[in-house]
Amino acid sequence: MSTKLKNKIVNKKAGIAVIGLGYVGLPLALAFAQKGFKVTGIDTDEQRVGRIKNLESYITDVPSSLIARMVGRKNFEATTDFDLLRQADVVIICVPTPLKRKYTPDISYIVSAVKSIAGRMHKDMLIVLESTTYPGTTEELIKPQLEKSGLKAGRDFYVAFSPERIDPGNKNFSVTEIPKVVGGLTPQCTFLSGLLYSQIIKQVHRVSSCKSAEMTKLLENSFRIVNIGWINEIAQMCHALGVDVWEVIDAAKTKPFGFMPFYPGLGVGGHCIPEDPLYLYWKAKHYDFNCKFIKLAADTNSAMPSYAVGRLKKIIRKPFKSARVLVLGVTYKKDIKDLRKSPSIRLIELLKKETGVDYHDPFIPYLKIDGIDLKSVALTPANVKAYDAVIVAVDHSAVNYDLIRKNARVVFDTRNVYQDKGGDRVVKL
C-alpha cells in the first residue's frame, strides 16, 4: 500500500478533486476544504463554476458565506479545467446518474468523468465513485476504463465506491454527520478510502467490496420507494374504507418496535428515490431476476397525481372543466428549491388538460418546465378565494396554512398539514 498517500491523507496534504459540483459534490468538497484539504471542484457546467467564482451558492443547504470563506482561505476552487486532475491525489466522482428511458440507467456521465480521469492519471491516485449506480459499475466499468492508462488498479492506484446519503433540506444531518459506507476493489483500496472519509466523518463503515457498497445504497433507497408505494396504496384503501390514514399511522407508530412510519403523498421525486431503485431493477433483469416490489412501488407512486385529480373531481362541486385549482408546492419535497421529478409537475400537467390551474411555491417564483409556463400566485385572501380548490401538494414550512384554510372554498390536504384542525373545508388524502 502507498504509505505516501496514507501520510498525505492523515496530514491533510492530499490534493482532492471533486468531479460534479451538485447537491452531493459541492457540500462534500466544502467539507474537505473546511478540514484543511486543498480541494478543486471540477464541473462541466460553466454557469455553476462561474457562480462559485462569484462566491455565490446555488444549493439550498450551502451558504454563500461558506464558499467565500473556503475560497478566501485558498482551500477551494472551482474550474471546468480537467487538467487540474493531474495534481490530485484523490478524485471523487459525484456526477448525475439519471434514467435514460423508463427503467434504463444512463451512466454516460460516469463514463465521461472516468474518461477524463484516465487520460490524466498518475501512480498512487485514489479514485472514489459516489454517484448512485447499479452493483458492479465500479468493477465492471470504471476499473477497466482507468486501467487503459497502463496502470493497474489495486497496485498502482486505488479504487472504491462510497455511496452518498445526503438528504437535502434535512437540518439534522449534514454530509459530515451521516455515517459513510466504503467498499474498495482490494483491502488496501477499502483502507485508504475509509481513511479519507474518516478525516471528515466520525463513523465510517467498511464493506468487503465495491459491489456491496453499491448494493447498500440501493437497498436503502429501495426500502424507501417500496414503503412509500405501500403507504400510498394503504392511503387509497383507507379512503375507500372511510378511515383516516393519518390517524392510523399515528396510532401504529406508538408501537416501540417493529414499525416505522412512512407517509402518503403525491408520490416520490428528486434524483434518488424515483430512479435509483430502477438501476437495481434493470441490473437484476440481466440475472433473470424480476424485482416485483420495486416495479410495483414505482407504478403505485407514479399513479398518485392521477389519483389526486380523481379525488379533486369529487371534491369540487361543479363541472371540472370550468373549475380553477391552486396547487400549493411544486418542489419534490418540503423546504428545498429542487424541482427534479416532482410529482407536483405531473399533477399540474394532468390538471392543465382538464381545468384551470395555478400554483404557489415560496421557493419557485416562476415555473417554466415540461410545457408549463406559470408564475407563483401570491397567497392573499382574495387570491385564495378565487379558486374552487387548493391542493396542498408540498408542506413547505414558510406557508400560511391558516390563511388558506380561512379563505379557500375547499382544501385538499395531501400532506396532513392541518392534522385534526382543518374543519369542514379541509379534505385529507
Euclidean distance between CA atoms 182 and 212, whole angstroms: 9
Assign residue 296 a region: left if phi > 0, alpha if psi is -120 to 50, beta otherwise? alpha
- Least separation, in Å, of the C-beta of 313 and ligand NAD? 34
- Would you call 99 helix, strand, or coil by DSSP? strand
CB atoms within 10 A of CB 229: 27
Instruction: Tell me whether residue 137 or residue 407 sits nearer to ligand NAD (CB atom).
Output: 137
- Least separation, in Å, of the C-beta of 209 and ligand NAD? 19
Instruction: Tell me whether residue 165 or residue 360 sits nearer to ligand NAD (CB atom).
Output: 165
Instruction: Tell me whether residue 105 or residue 408 sits nearer to ligand NAD (CB atom).
Output: 105
Euclidean distance between CA atoms 129 and 400, whole angstroms: 42
Q: Could you tell me if 355 and 321 are in contact, meaning their C-beta atoms sit under 8 angstroms apart?
A: yes
CB-side neighbour CA atoms (13 Å) of 65:
0
For 363-406, the DSSP string reads T-SEEEETTEEEEPPP--HHHHHTSSEEEE-S--TTS-HHHHHH
CB atoms within 10 A of CB 163: 23
CB-side neighbour CA atoms (13 Å) of 407:
15
Using CB under 6 A, list all residues that contact ligand NAD. Answer: 19-25, 42-45, 48, 94-97, 109, 112-113, 130-132, 164-166, 168, 271-272, 276
- Least separation, in Å, of the C-beta of 427 and ligand NAD? 32
Euclidean distance between CA atoms 38 and 15, whole angstroms: 5
- Least separation, in Å, of the C-beta of 275 and ligand NAD? 7
CB-side neighbour CA atoms (13 Å) of 288:
0
Place of cell 487538467: 83
Instruction: Tell me whether residue 245 or residue 294 sits nearer to ligand NAD (CB atom).
Output: 294
- Least separation, in Å, of the C-beta of 316 and ligand NAD? 35
Instruction: Tell me whether residue 41 or residue 426 sits nearer to ligand NAD (CB atom).
Output: 41
- Least separation, in Å, of the C-beta of 168 and ligand NAD? 5
Instruction: Tell me whether residue 3 or residue 47 sits nearer to ligand NAD (CB atom).
Output: 47
Minimal CB distance to ligand NAD: which residue?
22
Catalytic option among 210, 238, 272, 291: 272
Q: Is 210 tagged catalytic? A: no
CB atoms within 10 A of CB 77: 18
Task: List the catalytic residues.
Answer: 272
